[in-house]
């Protein structure tokens, strides 16, 4: 039943995107451009820190959707000295603080398929109910946009960070989706960072972000971002 729902949504999305009228079930309330840029900058800082230092103990659900949830939640919180110390960010230049009231209203309030809201959503729920479709190319990509792949029984997300995309492969061993390079010297913790040009050349073509790849659904933007 779940698979039929997924297929129906994907079919409607692909038809609509071809007509440039892609639907969105996401709410229309958004941060303004300034606040969106601040949150994007925080997401970039946080994901880069995970790649450089290894996963934070604050990040408990380590998979592709978990990376997105973690980065968004930590971006929308207060970044006081104890938090910065715990994240290894005390000596780094950091973005301005996001607006406290707006951040509080958004933090850990993901829309779920059953209509409830909370801190946890699956990769599919994250995209279906909490983003809007942008494109199947990267001309309009912005930091913190999501690359969404559908492989039938599972879905996968990658985060666009400008110079590269980042993701977690869902494991902490040496298994992987392909020949994706590891970033940093912390062993194989499941985190990956790779340039799009490299991703387009992977031997496992399921992960190529190209219009000719039926597994690549497209680029999506978090619904609360401008």
pLDDT at 180 over 50: no
Instruction: Please tell me the predicted confidence (pLDDT) of residue 53.
Output: 96
179 has a pLDDT exceeding 60: no
109-165 confidence digits (pLDDT tens): 999 999 999 999 999 999 999 999 999 999 999 999 999 999 999 999 999 999 999
Measured in whole angstroms, the distance separating CA 218 from the mean position of its chain's CA atoms is 12
Read off the pLDDT of each residue in 185-192 and give the average, rounded to a whole number. Answer: 78
Q: What gap in Å lies between CA 197 and CA 222, rounded to an integer?
A: 24
The alpha carbon torsion through 226, 75, 207, 155 (nearest 10 deg) reads -90
Phi-psi sector, 132: left (phi>0), alpha (psi -120 to 50), beta:
beta
**pTM listed for this prediction:** 0.87
pLDDT given at position 28: 47
pLDDT in tens, 17-50: 555 545 555 554 799 999 999 999 999 999 999 9
- Quick one: pLDDT band at residue 206, thresholds 50, 70, 90? very high
Per residue in 63-113, pLDDT tens? 999 999 999 999 999 999 999 999 999 999 999 999 999 999 999 999 999
Q: What is the pLDDT of residue 223?
A: 98
Residue 92: closest CA among 155, 154, 42, 142? 42
Q: For the stretch 176-195, what's the b/e string if a residue is b when 16 or more beta carbons lie within 10 angstroms of its beta carbon?
A: bbeebebbeeeeebbbbbbe
């Amino acid at each position: 039943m779940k698979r039929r729902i997924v297929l129906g949504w994907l079919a409607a999305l692909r038809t609509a995107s071809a007509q440039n009228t892609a639907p969105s079930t996401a709410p229309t309330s958004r941060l303004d451009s300034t606040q969106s840029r601040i949150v994007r900058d925080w997401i970039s800082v946080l994901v880069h820190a995970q790649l450089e230092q290894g996963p934070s103990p604050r990040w408990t659900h380590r998979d592709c959707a978990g990376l997105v949830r973690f980065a968004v939640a930590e971006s929308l919180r207060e970044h006081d000295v104890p938090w910065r110390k715990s994240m290894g960010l005390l000596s780094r230049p950091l973005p301005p603080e996001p607006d406290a009231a707006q951040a509080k209203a958004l933090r850990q309030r993901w829309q779920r398929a059953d209509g409830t809201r909370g801190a946890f959503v699956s990769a599919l729920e994250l995209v279906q109910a909490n983003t809007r479709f942008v494109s199947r190319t990267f001309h309009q990509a912005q930091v913190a946009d999501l690359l969404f792949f559908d492989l039938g029984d599972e879905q996968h997300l990658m985060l666009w960070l400008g110079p590269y995309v980042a993701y977690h492969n869902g494991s902490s061993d040496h298994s992987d989706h392909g020949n994706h390079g590891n970033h940093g010297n912390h062993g194989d913790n499941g985190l990956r960072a790779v340039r799009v040009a490299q991703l387009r050349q992977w031997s496992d073509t399921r992960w190529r972000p190209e219009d000719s790849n039926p597994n690549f659904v497209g680029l999506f933007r978090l619904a609360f971002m401008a």
